[in-house]
Amino acid sequence: MRARTILFALGGLIVTAGVAGVIVLKSVDVNRYRGIIASEAEKATGRKLVIAGDLALSISLSPSVVAQDVSFANAPWGSRPSMAQVKRFEAEVALMPLLGGQIKIERFVLIEPDILLETDAKGRGNWEFEKPPAETGTTTQDPAAREDATAGSAPSMAVSRVRIEKARLTWRDGATGKAETVALDRFTAEAKDFSSPIALTLAGVAAGIPLDVQGSIGAIDSLLANASFPLKLTLKTKGAEVGIDGAIAQPMAGKGIDLKLALAAADVKALARTAGAEISALPPIKMTARLSDGGDAYTLSGIDATVGKSDVKGSVTLAPGSGPLSVTADLTSGQFDLTEFLPPAGAAPAAKKEVAKKEKEGDKAAAQPGTRLFSDAPLPLAGLKAVNATVQAKITRMVVRHATLQDATVKATLKGGRLAVEGLKVGVGGGTLTAQATLDPAGSGQAALTAALTTQVNASGVDLGRVLKEMEVSDALSGGPLEAKITLAGRGGSVRALMGGLNGRALVSLGKGKVGNKALDMAGADLLNELLTGINPLAKSEEYTELKCGVINVPVKDGVISSDNAIAVETGKMNVVGNGTINLKTEELDLAVHPSPREGVGVSAGSAAKLMRIKGSLASPHLGVDEAGVAKTVLSVGAAVATGGLSVLGEALVDKATADDAPCLTALGKKAPPPAKPAEKKPATGRKGAAAEGVGSALKGIFGQ
C-alpha cells in the first residue's frame, strides 16, 4: 500500500507540474519572440525573415506553431524583393521525440505560398545562401574550430505529412529572362521519416495544362545523399495520361536516368487547346518507351507507338549541349495512314469558289493579295539554326486516302540551318518515285532552295488514273502511265519569293488512258469540263475521251513557265498544243490552247477550239473566249454556205497543212515519223451534198450541238 501511494503521489505531482507548465506557456505572448526568430533566421541564411501577422503557439503532446503573413527575402540580385511569401504557416511537432533530441514534424502546412526560384546570368540560384558571419569567439580562419563548434548541434529531423494549398511556384532563368509558373490547387506528401518513400498527390496547372499527379518518389535522405531515387507516378490531364516508373541514380545531378514511360492521349486536340494551341484533330495516341541518359544526351529507346491506324517504332536521341539542340532519330513503321491527318476529300473551300466566280466575271477585287496561292509569310529560317538533326525513316506501307505507297524510305539532315532531304524513295501506282531537296538559309533572312525531283517507273509505269482514284481526287482518268523529271532552284525568304525566282525545267510525260467525260462533269471541274469540250466536241455525248499521250516539257526562268509548243495532248479526235506563260511571281495565267482535228474528225471542231484561252490566276483559273475569233469563224461559215462549202474545205486544207501530227513528240523535242501515204479515195458523187455536210459540221462545232 505504501509503494502504491508513493506512485500515485508522484503521478499527481507530474500531472500538476505539467498542467502548471502548460498554464505558464499559454500565458506567454509568443509574438514577443518574432524579432528573435527573424534575427536567428537572418544569422543562418543572411536573408531577412518577416512575420507580419500573428504568431501563435498551441501546447499539447504535439505542440504546433502558427504564423501569419510570412515573407523571406530574395537574393540581392533577384528580380523581386521576396523569394517566398506565405499567408499562413503551420508546423505541428511531436513532443516525446523532441525530448530525445529528434525533431519530428507531424504536420507541415503552407496556405497560399508564392515561391520564386531563379538564377542570375551566371547560373547562380537564389536558394544558394551566403555564409553567415562567424560567431563571437570563433575564428573564420580555423576550419577545425568551426567544425568543433557546430559538431552534433543539428538534431535529426523527420516530416510525416506536408500539405500545401493554393500555391504558386515560379521558375525564372536569369540567362534568358524566360519564366514558367506552376499553380497548385493542392499538394500532399506523406512519409514515416526522411529515409522512407514519399507518397504524393498533386492537382494544379503547368504551362496552361491541368495536371493531376499521384504516386510515390524516393526518400528525402536519398535525395540529399544524391543516391538512387525511385519514381512511380501517374500524371493525368485533359485527354491524356502519362506513367513514369523507374529511378534516377544521381537525382541532385540529374544523371543516371532509367525510366519507363507510357503515354495514352485520347483527345490530342483538346489537350492542345487547353495549352492555348490550335491543331487539327489527331487520332488517339498510345506510346511506351524507355528514357535514359548517357554523357550529355537523353535517349528515348524502344519506342512503340500507335497513332490511330499508324504504328511507329524506333529511337530518338536529344543532346542539348551549349550550342544548337542535337537530334538523332531512327524510326520505322509497318503502316502509316496519312488519311487521318488530312482534311476530308473534295472539301473545296466555299471562299475559293466565290473568288473564282468573281474573277471570271471580271471583278478585280477578287485578285487581292489574300487570294494568292503562295504565301508571302517569312519562312522560319532562323529557327532552323537552333537544331541540328539527322532523321531517317522507313515505312513499309503508307496509306493516303485509299492509295497505298510501298517501301518508303527517307533521310533528312539539318545542320547549321541547312536542311537536306536525301534518298526519298517510295513505290506508288506500280512505279517508283525518288526525290531530293535542300533548303540553305543565306544572309538577311533569305533562303537558297535547290530541289531535284525524279520519278522513275517500272515497266508498267506509275498508273496516274489509279493513284488519283485511290487518293479520292478524281476517278475521271483510267490509265495514264506517268514519268517525270523536275529540276528547280530558287532564292527567297517566303514561299511566294521562292516561287517567283525559280529556275530550271519540268518534264512530265503521260501515256495512254481514258478520260471519263461524265465522271469529270460530276466532279464539278468547270475549267476541265469546258476545256474537254473544246478538245473533244463530242464529250457531252460520248462516255470517254481517248487519251493517247500528254507532255509538259517547259523551262522555268525567273519564276516564269513558258511554253512554245512544249505542252501537248493527243486524244482520239484532237491534237492539242498549249502556248503561253504561267507567271509564278504574279500567279497570272495566259495559255492559248490550239487543238486541231485528227483524221476523220469534222473540220469545224478545230475552228471552234482555236478560240480557247486559259486566263486568270493559279488560285482561280478560267477559260476565256476571243470574241473577235468567234465573229471570224461565223463569217467563215457564212462564206461556206454562199460558195457551196469551198471556204470550209479551204480552211480544212490550211488546218491540215499547218497542224502537227505528233505534238507529243514535238514537245519532247523529237521528230515525228514520216506520215503514211493516204489511201486513194473515190471522188464525191455530189458536190452540193458534201458542202452542205461541211456547213452542218461547222455550225455544230461552233454552237456545241
The DSSP code sequence of 540-597 is TT-SEEEEEEEEEEEEEETTEEEEEEEEEEEESSEEEEEEEEEETTTTEEEEEEEEEE
The 3-state DSSP class for residue 36 equals helix
Res 189: pLDDT: 92
**Terminal alpha carbon distance of the chain:** 135
In whole angstroms, what is the distance from residue 397 CA to residue 521 CA?
33
Cell of residue 678, nine digits: 493516204
pTM to 2 decimal places = 0.67
Name the domain count of the chain: 1
Q: What 3-state DSSP class applies to 472?
A: coil
Grid cell 524579432 is found at 35
Q: Does residue 427 lie in a domain region? A: no
CA trace torsion 348, 351, 353, 359 (10° rounding): -150
**DSSP structural state of residue 390:** E
In a domain, 701, yes or no: no
pLDDT of residue 699: 34
**Does a structural domain hold residue 58?**
yes
What does the block give as the cell for 297? 544526351
Distance CA 73, CA 227 (A): 31
CA-nearest of 260, 217, 269 to 240 is: 269
348 φ/ψ sector (left φ>0, alpha ψ -120 to 50, else beta) = beta
Q: Which domain holds residue 109?
A: 27-130+154-190
| Within-domain flag for 260 | no
Residue 162 lies in a domain: yes
Closest-CA residue to 480 (of 502, 501, 457):
457
Give CA 685 to chain center in angstroms.
Answer: 74
Q: Which pLDDT does position 234 carry in this prediction? A: 96
Helix 687-703 and helix 627-642, axial crossing angle in degrees, nearest 10? 160
For residue 402, tell me if it sits in a domain: no
Q: Does residue 334 belong to any structural domain of this protein?
A: no
**Structural domain includes residue 238:** no
| Cell representation of residue 5 | 501511494
pLDDT of residue 59: 64
Residue 513 makes CB contacts below 8 A (sequence gap 6+) with: 464, 465, 477, 478, 479, 480, 481, 547
Give the pLDDT of residue 694.
41
Q: Rounded to the nearest 5°, which phi and psi values hold at 200?
A: -120, 145
Question: Along the chain (705 residues), what's the average pLDDT of each consecutive run of 10 residues?
Answer: 50 47 51 80 88 79 82 93 92 73 79 93 86 50 45 59 92 89 92 88 86 93 90 90 95 92 84 62 89 92 94 95 90 92 60 50 48 83 86 93 86 90 85 85 60 44 78 76 87 86 89 75 51 58 80 93 90 84 91 75 46 80 59 42 41 46 88 62 48 40 36
